[in-house]
Amino acid sequence: MREAFHEQLDTVFDDLAGICKLVEEAVAGATEALLTGDAELAERVISADVAIDRAREKVEDQAFSLLSLQQPVAGDLRTIIAALRMVSELERMGDLSVHVAKIARLRVPNVAVPEEIRPTISRMAEVAEDMVSRVSQIITGRDVEAAIALGRDDEEMDQLRRTSFVELLADDWSHGVEAAVDIALLGRYYERIADHAVSVANRIVFVVTGTNPRSVDAAGA
């Protein structure tokens, strides 16, 4: 009975890793649409969000079934609850990718990102996509060290966010309020994708060790 239970639990985590792959594709597609002004690609990213929503529902159904039928205790209960929270975070990452794609679509036939701030936004997108990819591996391998490292690497995203604000608030900004709002929103969307990735990674640490990394960091501070 317990062996079957843990096989079902492993399936839940395999599905979580699969959702990560969908989110990674969404981030990449939304970014390409944003930087090229590709309306068709933006539409595909927006439409594909349905697949992430359905995958989330599947994970939730599996987790609730395990809770109701298996009555897990201690570590197993912790793992199921963490999975439910992780799938919510992953879905939100998909939603944020849709927000990026919608800005891209809104500005067609123009490109939403002015040329001089393009390197910063491009790098934010690269960091976000890399973090999502690493989360998939962290989930699959229950890799605590990689999860902790991901949290530390989030500092680059925070710095890029600050850089984007400096650029759009500069005296020589010549692209108007509309473009400034777009850049502010895009920075927030990519930053939040990274934040959710760190949160998912922290939940893996909690599943494996029973310790919340953020709590440890706060105590150490």
pLDDT digits (tens, 9 = 90+) for 30-86: 999 999 999 999 999 999 999 999 999 999 999 888 888 766 676 788 888 899 999
CA distances from 209 to 24, 147, 201 (A): 27, 12, 12
Instruction: Give yes or no for a contact between 149 and 197, defined as CB atoms under 8 angstroms apart.
Output: no
Report which of residues 3 and 110 the model is more confident about: 110
The model's confidence at residue 178, banded by pLDDT at 50, 70 and 90, is: very high
Mean pLDDT score of the chain, rounded to an integer? 90
Q: What is the DSSP letter of 115?
A: G
Q: Specify the residue for token string 């839940």.
A: 12
Residue ranges of domains in the chain? 2-220
pTM here is: 0.90
In the predicted structure, residue 5 carries a pLDDT above the cut 90: no
In the predicted structure, residue 216 carries a pLDDT above the cut 50: no
Dist CA 84 CA 73 (whole Å): 16
Gyration radius from the chain CA atoms: 19
The model's confidence at residue 7, banded by pLDDT at 50, 70 and 90, is: confident
Q: What is the pLDDT of residues 14-27, one digit of tens each?
A: 999 999 999 999 99
Q: Does 2-220 carry CATH code 3.40.50.720?
A: no
Nearest to 129 by CA among 1, 31, 2, 8: 31
Q: For the range 140-145, what are the long-range contacts, defined as Cβ-Cβ under 8 Å and sequence gap of 24 or more?
A: 140/13, 140/14, 140/17, 142/13, 142/204, 142/207, 142/208, 143/204, 144/204, 144/205, 144/208, 144/209
Helix (H) or strand (E) holding 1: none
